[in-house]
Amino acid sequence: MKATIIILALILMAPASCSKKGDDGFKPTLPPITQTGENTFGCYANGVLITPRDGSGTFNSPDYGLRFVAGPSPENIIYNEILVHDFASEKTASITVHIIDMDSLGIGEYIVNESNCYGNVDSPNTNNVFCRIWVEEENLYKSYCSLPNSGVITITRYDDCIISGTFSCRAAAFEEPTASRTIGRRTCFHL
């Protein structure tokens, strides 16, 4: 089944954890755009608003709703990732924004290309976006990978440990691997 979504978002964060704890009455809202590192993030994916919320954590490890990572190692930074998770909702959602050479290029526009829906070293060497959301109409989770040349990530501030910007792209659903297929093989549908 082919499905395409449009992802519109804003990135407004300092590379640290977000500490918005959830409660039963939580109503997510799209945060305002700032340039001051407010530790906020919000985006719509297929009509679902994704905002970061911390979880209760696991053994010796907190569940931070918003993280910024660089890799593959501190001595060799090739990519940066903005990792957003709603750990506090019953029907969770997550999105990853994978940016190549941001440490050397800094502020500017980055063209969004094809994702394989894997992060860090398993991601293609491209700027890409992927997400996992609950689809109420189908009563299941679906993952979406960005398509080739389908949008732009605009970084408007990247200094003093502050990242600000916006992004938008098109993405398509992908098939989860099954026992009859090679494990780890995923197919993005292109429209």
pTM over 0.85: no
What is the rounded distance in angstroms from the CA atom of residue 186 to the CA atom of residue 179? 13
Number of domains observed in the structure of the chain: 1
Q: What does the pLDDT average to over 12-41?
A: 68
What is the rounded distance in angstroms from the CA atom of residue 104 to the CA atom of residue 75? 13
Q: Report which DSSP code applies to 35.
A: S
Pull the structure tokens for residue 58.
């696991």
Summarised one tens digit per residue, pLDDT across range 86-122 is 999 888 899 999 999 999 999 999 999 999 999 999 9
How confident is residue 20, by pLDDT bands cut at 50, 70 and 90?
Answer: very low
Contacts of residue 62, defined as CB under 8 A and 6 or more positions apart, other chains included, come to 17, 54, 55
Nearest to 3 by CA among 46, 43, 47: 46
How confident is residue 9, by pLDDT bands cut at 50, 70 and 90?
Answer: low
What is the rounded distance in angstroms from the CA atom of residue 112 to the CA atom of residue 124? 12
Please check whether residue 123 is in contact with residue 79, taking contact to mean a CB–CB distance below 8 angstroms. Answer: yes
Beta bridge partners of 182: none
Contacts of residue 11, defined as CB under 8 A and 6 or more positions apart, other chains included, come to 41, 82, 97, 153, 155, 163, 164, 165, 166, 167
Q: Tell the residue number behind the tokens 């408007």, with chain if given.
A: 156
Min mean pLDDT across 23-32, 36-45, 84-93 is at 23-32
Nearest to 123 by CA among 48, 45, 69, 43: 69
Which residue segment(s) compose the domain that 30 sits in?
A: 4-188
Pull the structure tokens for residue 15.
């590379």
Distances (CA, A) of 85 to 52, 55, 127, 138, 191: 5, 9, 19, 21, 27
Summarised one tens digit per residue, pLDDT across range 61-78 is 889 999 999 999 989 999
Please check whether residue 9 is in contact with residue 166, taking contact to mean a CB–CB distance below 8 angstroms. Answer: yes
Within a 10 A sphere around the Cβ of 95, how many other Cβ atoms? 25
